[in-house]
A and B are shown apart, each in its own frame.
Chain A
């Protein structure tokens, strides 16, 4: 039997290692003041996103303060919703694609198109087809649809294929859908403005109103599924994470039900749930800001944490979709509702 003497003695000279190490990892005064500066910048960054959305809505509110017909007002509301969706996609895709290092140049398409959709939706509705707004909305829908295919391809090409692991961590499968929706609802708003010319075709107007309600209901269900996937990835570690996977789908179902058989009772229920969904979109942003702060280093370490933490621009998409849902309810109500 060989007798090895593999023993462990404290390594001599650990003192110097320790002190050197302290210097290396220690935070200097300059770094500490930079950290405070970071905090300010972090808040500014978050405020910018909220401010952007608020400014757009405020701007919309100031749009032509004249008496509008109900369809006109509904069209504006749909465009507000589309603009908020566009702003959400702009900020979210810019951050997420930055996180991916714009690895593929096609990744620039999402934020650029989202910006175009945002500005198109802020513009005054115009039923004519050859406008910038029409083109931008159509491009948003096209890029969104292409993005869906692209993200699906990214899931499939990884080891494991269509697995939970890849749905969690490959390109988010539903995210480009928000851009597709922003474009489609932008296009829809042009159609709604055209309703004014259908004064003598009440059946056609009702059909469009019901279609919009159904589409906004489906969009809410679709968006909730995306949230459910990502909140499941986060293990629903905070009970509040259940809110956006319960209220918005309920609103979506209520909108679908109302679209199928409009009634005053169903209108009230859909209005309540859809309104709550809109509020959740704003509150959710606050939750995500809080969630970013729970990552290592908190908002002091915003450079890493806004990318690693919950996406701050994402929840506002519920606000946008809720506005569109409410617009569809207004349109339906304008046609007169049975009890």
Chain B
């Protein structure tokens, strides 16, 4: 007899599951897979802090190369089949909801679409939109004249995009209308839902291309993942495992290759020795602080927790925090503006069906010279499918609608469609993560996040609102209105060409500490106008190969060098 969904979920948040030589089998409701374990005193090759797009990929690829790896995650180790419910409030459990302080001219709302707190990281609740950067963005300064260049060539990234797209069996269109050839997506695109067809009709009316969105949810069976059932709860956690999150792709690979995953293990401080090298991490698990020795430490905690950990690891030798000789740690934090236009339609749309964003238009990512284009950078926009609570919240906070008026608006839910951007923002030194005096339950200083839009950012989203309003009306929408929000985080510990204005080199190795690395979205020097997950994954896959190459040449402290 099967237990109801959610019976074990609470336990996952209270006691570590990856213990006693076994870890949860994510493809079962209550099973396990064997897991290699290391002693705290054992000097492992890599201690990785975080198991999402950065840490998850690294853990798998490094363990597969024979290196000893322990990966920590502050959150639980879910089994989606048993632990995820079709309930928006219940699924708040997949977000990083620890208190943070948010200020600046345009304080960011933190906690849902820009954080994750579980094994697999934000990919457990991401919308699965699997887009590549436009090649020119890797050389934004020299090719397009804004922001900075990445220390990586786009052709290298192109190869790693292909690698991670195959690892996640991305379901994408046979031909993609923008950018250079990207080969064939491993799986075919899904059937576009009615909300996506609104974008398609509008795009055809305005004469711009559109495409079925490449998505990280399978359109045909893959191993133990069944094909997507178009349940529509993707962004609060997929309960069928059709979603190819890091939790069901790289994490099982990492475990099979001999990596240890420690769930409910919050790393609070990185220890460094007198010689300036790091020696391991202090982490809190099962009610006590412990110390794991490691030859190398990789921080993969994303744009807020990564700088927070480095800043919280200050010593006399590094008074401003680890790897912060340039003062860049925490700086150049970016978001994506997430402005949207919504409209009513005569016909029924039922936009909750299927993944939320099934059609995409990247037109304004690839147009440079157009009389109306008064901004640097670009934006993609996608069709939308918010769940009811999410949509009601957006209505209340953006339009102030309440009471009977709100009820009437919600009654139109099945006739609504929307278009929402992923808008590039400029890297600004003053947008940053710092430490507040206030401490959390573990005595760690909380992060303070400061964010203000630049003028260019505002011109960009104003442009997008005008264009999307025209498009949605061309598709037959009426009573259009606008909302604003943000999504994703990028930067905060950017990689770069020199120690003066960046935290790491192209390999993610910090300029100041030779055995301290960063591998996550905080490395991104620019934000680009697409969802960042594939770029973070590809960059992590690239960094893993660099680490393996360095280890093989003896330029990295590892036993198997």
Which of the 9-residue segments B187-195, B294-302, B404-412, B492-500 touches chain A? Answer: B187-195
**Could you say which residues of chain A place their CB within 8 Å of the CB of B100?**
7-8
Cross-chain contact B89 with A11 (CB below 8 angstroms): yes
Cross-chain contact A25 with B111 (CB below 8 angstroms): no
Cross-chain contact B220 with A237 (CB below 8 angstroms): yes
Residue among A7, A14, A158 making CB contact with B101, cutoff 8 Å: A7
What would 15 A/B residue contacts be, using CB atoms closer than 8 Å? A1-B105, A9-B97, A11-B92, A18-B9, A18-B10, A21-B6, A22-B7, A27-B2, A27-B4, A164-B188, A168-B191, A237-B222, A295-B221, A296-B229, A296-B242
**Could you say which residues of chain B place their CB within 8 Å of the CB of A168?**
188-189, 191
| Chain B at the A interface: SS class | loop
Residue interface mask B135-174, A partner, CB < 8 A = 1: 0000000000000000000000000000000000100011
Residue interface mask B91-119, A partner, CB < 8 A = 1: 01101111111111101111100000000
Residue of A nearest to B91 (CB): A21
Which of the 9-residue segments A129-137, A172-180, A227-235 touches chain B? Answer: A227-235
Tell me the smallest distance from the CB of A301 to a CB of chain B, in Å.
9
In the bound complex, CA of A160 to CA of B196 (Å)? 12
Tell me the count of chain B residues lying within 8 A, CB to CB, of chain A.
56
Asked whether B204 is an interface residue with its Cβ less than 8 Å from the other chain, the reply is yes
Asked whether B186 is an interface residue with its Cβ less than 8 Å from the other chain, the reply is yes
**Could you say which residues of chain B place their CB within 8 Å of the CB of A160?**
200
Asked whether B314 is an interface residue with its Cβ less than 8 Å from the other chain, the reply is no
| Chain A at the B interface: SS class | loop
Cross-chain contact B110 with A237 (CB below 8 angstroms): no
In the bound complex, CA of A114 to CA of B532 (Å)? 51
Residue interface mask B193-234, A partner, CB < 8 A = 1: 000010011001000001010000001111000110100000
In the bound complex, CA of A169 to CA of B212 (Å)? 12
Q: Nearest 5 pairs between A and B by C-beta? A: A26-B4, A4-B107, A159-B200, A8-B111, A169-B191
Find the residue from A1, A235, A238 having the highest chain B CB count within 10 A. Answer: A235
Cross-chain contact B97 with A164 (CB below 8 angstroms): no
Asked whether A64 is an interface residue with its Cβ less than 8 Å from the other chain, the reply is no
Knowing A2-B107, A164-B175 are in contact, say whether A14-B187 is a contact too (CB < 8 A). Answer: no
Tell me the smallest distance from the CB of A64 to a CB of chain B, in Å.
46
**Could you say which residues of chain A place their CB within 8 Å of the CB of B229?**
295-296, 304, 308
Residue among A7, A235, A295 making CB contact with B187, cutoff 8 Å: A235
Asked whether A10 is an interface residue with its Cβ less than 8 Å from the other chain, the reply is yes
Cross-chain contact A235 with B186 (CB below 8 angstroms): yes
**Could you say which residues of chain B place their CB within 8 Å of the CB of A238?**
221
How many A residues touch the partner, as a band? 35 or more
Asked whether A42 is an interface residue with its Cβ less than 8 Å from the other chain, the reply is no
Asked whether A61 is an interface residue with its Cβ less than 8 Å from the other chain, the reply is no
Knowing A27-B2, A232-B188 are in contact, say whether A8-B97 is a contact too (CB < 8 A). Answer: yes
Residue among A2, A296, A304 making CB contact with B103, cutoff 8 Å: A2
**Could you say which residues of chain B place their CB within 8 Å of the CB of A164?**
173-175, 188
Knowing A159-B200, A165-B192, A294-B221 are in contact, say whether A14-B89 is a contact too (CB < 8 A). Answer: yes
Tell me the smallest distance from the CB of B383 to a CB of chain A, in Å.
12
In the bound complex, CA of A298 to CA of B210 (Å)? 35
Asked whether B30 is an interface residue with its Cβ less than 8 Å from the other chain, the reply is no
Residue of A nearest to B1 (CB): A32
**Could you say which residues of chain A place their CB within 8 Å of the CB of B374?**
none
In the bound complex, CA of A32 to CA of B96 (Å)? 36
Cross-chain contact B108 with A6 (CB below 8 angstroms): yes
Knowing A18-B9, A232-B188, A233-B188 are in contact, say whether A5-B101 is a contact too (CB < 8 A). Answer: yes
Cross-chain contact A235 with B220 (CB below 8 angstroms): yes
Residue of B nearest to A164 (CB): B174
In the bound complex, CA of A173 to CA of B282 (Å)? 62
